Structure 1
Amino acid sequence: MGGMNLCDTPPAPLADQDFAPILDWIAAEVRPWVGRGKVADYIPRLAEVPADRFGMAVATLDGRLLQVGDAEEAFSIQSISKVFTLTMALEALGNELWNRVGREPSGSPYNSLVQLEREHGIPRNPLINAGAHVVADVILSSDDDARGRLLSFVRARSDDMAVEMDPEVARSERVAGYRNTALANFIRSFGNLDNPVEAVLDFYYHQCAIRMNCVDLARSFLYLANRGRCQHSGEVVISPERAKRINAIMLTCGTYDAAGEFAFRVGLPAKSGVGGGIVAVVPNVLAVAVWSPGLDDKGNSLAGAQALDLFTTRTGLSVF
């Protein structure tokens, strides 16, 4: 690809790094990737999203916010929401959560039924669909207004009271939700859901229907870069130990069954969604969000993964 190759120069110390030209360079470098891949057309509402979008935002713990492209255009965050609900479920149930959901990579598609039967209704991890259903069940059991509590949580983390759930996306999820219905009923058959399947699925579809932009997402993940403390409010969202655990699960399980390849290329804890978003965390430093709707065959944004690969290569900000 043409243009100045910033990867040929050694990274500067964080305090000296100017992320603005780096983001501009990345946006130019990934342009050939934008529009490639396939939007998540099995969810009717997402099939309508233009594939030619690209946005990226960086929020740092020292207060900087940088962005490029369509970083302020809202989109459906889909499975990125699983990080928020995992945080809430850990606060509600503590380490007992791990009796109901595992912590291992699945090695299978995110909506696979196969492992559930072999493992007696215990999902492999909380970031695949089956695991997110168990997490949703925990939240429903802990709060009479679970949906409202989730929305309040996300608004507080992003510092944006305009964040909403898109009812059209939630409806679209429900129409196309045959596999999720099967997963939830299968888990219930093993006694690992306490609430009615319909209630669990309704909450799950609405969490996936949260609309945010890259700026919102980068800000909202800063608590995981900051040992569990919200960067803008100072609130302790979760303990440092649990923040560490969530980051670990994102690294090993956050990009579906491509987590190993993503760790190899990008080297950061991250969570993706089939809406085309990916959010990554550099512990003690920053959070970075990228969005481009075209997906690879694993359900991850093609241009987004390429952008994050370039970002960590250029800046040297990787956990490896």
Structure 2
Amino acid sequence: MPGLQDVLDEIVAEMATRQGRGEVATYIPQLGKIDPAKFGIAVALNDGEVMTSGDAEEPFSIQSISKVFTLALALGRVGDVLWQRVGREPSGTPFNSIVQLEIEHGIPRNPFINAGAIVVSDILLAGHQPREAIGEILSFVRSVADDDSIVIDRDVAASERATGYRNVALASYLKGFGNLNHEPDLTLGVYFHHCAIAMSCRQLASAGRFLANSGRSESSGHTVVSSERARRINALMLTCGHYDGSGEFAFRVGIPGKSGVGGGIMAVVPGVASIAVWSPGLNKNGNSMLGSLALEQLTRRMNWSIFSS
């Protein structure tokens, strides 16, 4: 059986020959400028080793992957009270669906669709100015990644704010149904900025490792979240992490994962490793086309599916 580094290098070589690479997210103008030929992958093993291949050191906008970190923070802040405002079920609809939010009276299906993440941002804003809440989120991501060089891409944040009309509508619906405690503009400021965090595959894989390690940080040895909470976050990533493509991802890849429209995917092999892959071209569900394929190849070759006997 080939070693992990050999497998990563083989996957990068295979992805370079692929013709269909999906479409970059042009509805956020800054993301539309990204070269669709980019591809990187990193695996952060629980023993502390990190293996990379391709464009794994180049930062990209993690977008909705940030929702994993804000969920962990919000659960630490308010605990299971959070679930009174956000559900835990797959959406089965696009990540920015207004119709579903209207039908379900302002309670988003899960914390990974846009409406759910806006509610989570509202929770993190409590008692803070937006700048302070954004700083807390960035500090948390830096801490779990053990890397203080991680920053927010201000151009991407500005681009999202300038064109985020659907998110403005979602926040207004949430406010109208009484599920937003702050003014929509303030909560959206937090939301747009955490989605604009820029990380490389190496940094992102390292940041997700606490979810592969029963909630503990490998670098510090400290508990980030309880083992039970880590399991529950992983469960939500498996069932809801790829929007209405979550079932297909679970079927083909077989591990928890969270995608972002910047082309990144963070995935977790509990007890083994955290993985980050980046390929900017998206499929029809808004998930990285080659990233999903690469993870399918990786889990198959390494026998990493959580459904393996």
TM-score by length of 2: 0.97
* Residues 34 and 53 in structure 1, CA contact (< 8 A), matched pair in contact too: no
Residue 77 of structure 1 corresponds to: 62
Gaps of 5+ in 1: 1-11
- Corresponding residue of 1:307: 294
Offset from partner CA, 1:124-152 (integer Å, 9 cap, x none): 00000000000000000154411111111
The counterpart of 2:96, out of the listed 96, 111, 116, is: 111
2:161 paired with 1:165: no
Deviation at 1:265? 0.5
Cα distance in 2 between the residues matched to 1:177 and 1:258: 22
Name the counterpart of 2:109: 124
Q: Secondary structure at the match of 1:206?
A: helix
CA distance in 2, matches of 1:48, 1:238: 36
Letter in 2 for 1:103: R
> Matched residues in 2 for 1:194 and 1:239: separation?
28
Structure 2 counterpart SS, 1:245: helix
Helix, strand or coil at the partner of 1:33: coil
What amino acid is the match of 1:304? G
Whether 1:19 aligns to 2:8 is: no
C-alpha separation in 1, matches of 2:244 and 2:17: 25
Separation of aligned partners in 2, 1:104 and 1:212: 28
Distance 2:97 2:243 in 1: 11
Aligned to 1:44: 29
Contact 1:255–1:271 (CA under 8 A) maintained in structure 2? yes
The Cα of 1:189 is off from its aligned counterpart by: 0.3
The reply on whether 1:32 has 2:17 as its aligned counterpart is yes
Matched, 1:192 2:179: yes
Equivalences for residues 132-211 of structure 1 within 5 A:
132-144=117-129, 145-211=132-198
- The answer to whether the 8 Å contact 1:111/1:130 transfers is yes
- Describe the SS at the equivalent of 1:279: strand
SS in 2 for 1:139: helix
The alignment yields a C-alpha RMSD, in angstroms, of: 1.1
Quote the Cα distance in structure 1 between the aligned partners of 2:19 and 2:201: 16
Aligned equivalents of 2:165, 2:268: Cα separation in 1:
33
Q: CA deviation at 1:33?
A: 3.2
Partner of 1:278: 265
Counterpart of 2:118, as a letter, is H
For 1:220, the aligned partner's letter is A
The answer to whether the 8 A contact 1:34-1:303 is kept is no
For residues 273-320 of structure 1, the C-alpha deviation after alignment (integer angstroms, 9 at most, x for no partner) is 000000100001100100010111111111100100000000001101
What is the SS of the residue equivalent to 1:80?
helix
Q: CA deviation at 1:248?
A: 0.2
- Determine the structure 1 residue equivalent to 2:232: 245
Q: Tell me if 1:99 matches 2:99.
A: no
Partners of 1:33 and 1:42 in 2: CA distance: 24
1:101-159 residue CA offsets vs partner (Å, 9 max, x unmatched): 00000000000011111111000000000000000000001544111111110111111
Runs of 4+ in structure 1 over 4 Å off: none
Q: Is the 8 A contact 1:34 1:52 kept in 2?
A: no
> What amino acid maps onto 2:239 in structure 1?
T
Once the two structures are superposed, residues 188-243 of structure 1 have per-residue CA deviations (whole angstroms, 9 ceiling, x without a partner) of 10000001101110000000110000000000000000111111111111111111
Structure 1 residue 62: Cα displacement: 1.2
- Count residues with an aligned counterpart: 305
Percent identical pairs in the alignment equals 57
Deviation at 1:166, TM superposition (A): 0.9
**Shift of residue 34, structure 1, vs aligned partner:** 6.6
Structure 1 counterpart SS, 2:261: coil
| 1:36 CA drift (Å) | 1.7
Q: Distance in 1 between matches of 2:128 and 2:291?
A: 35
CA distance in 2, matches of 1:262, 1:312: 12
Aligned to 1:271, the other structure's residue is in SS state strand
Unaligned 5+ segments in structure 2 are none
Matched residues in 2 for 1:33 and 1:78: separation? 24
